[in-house]
Amino acid sequence: MSSNRRSQKANLTNIKKREYKNMSESNLKHLERIKENIDKSKELSEEEKSNSVKHIEEWYAEDKAWGTFINELAQISPKVEAILAEMGLI
């Protein structure tokens, strides 16, 4: 692979990492808004609120764990990073 091609691929990978980070941050913002609105709801019982918040916190942890996993996996080798980029994961 030429030097120029590697540089283009590295730039694409960096853009995709930022996109994943932004997507993840966007997801977290949505989860926070949902959580706040559920908490403020007068229609939901305390049990419904509690169950909803529990699920939101689980989704938050999963989203954060997935991002960490993908980023650490990509750091193993440029070849692994290229595979993940080709799959659209970063």
What are the boundaries of each domain within the chain?
3-86
Q: What is the structure's pLDDT at 27?
A: 74
- Tens of pLDDT, residue by residue over 9-39, are 555 455 455 545 555 677 778 888 998 999 9
pLDDT at 56: 86
C-alpha span between 74 and 85 (Å, rounded): 9
Name the more confident of 62 and 1. 62
Each residue of 29-80: pLDDT tens digit? 888 899 899 999 999 999 999 999 999 888 888 877 888 888 888 899 889 8
Quick check: 6 and 81 in contact, CB under 8 A? no
Angle, in degrees to the nearest 10, between helices 3-40 and 46-74: 170
Nearest to 39 by CA among 48, 27, 28: 48
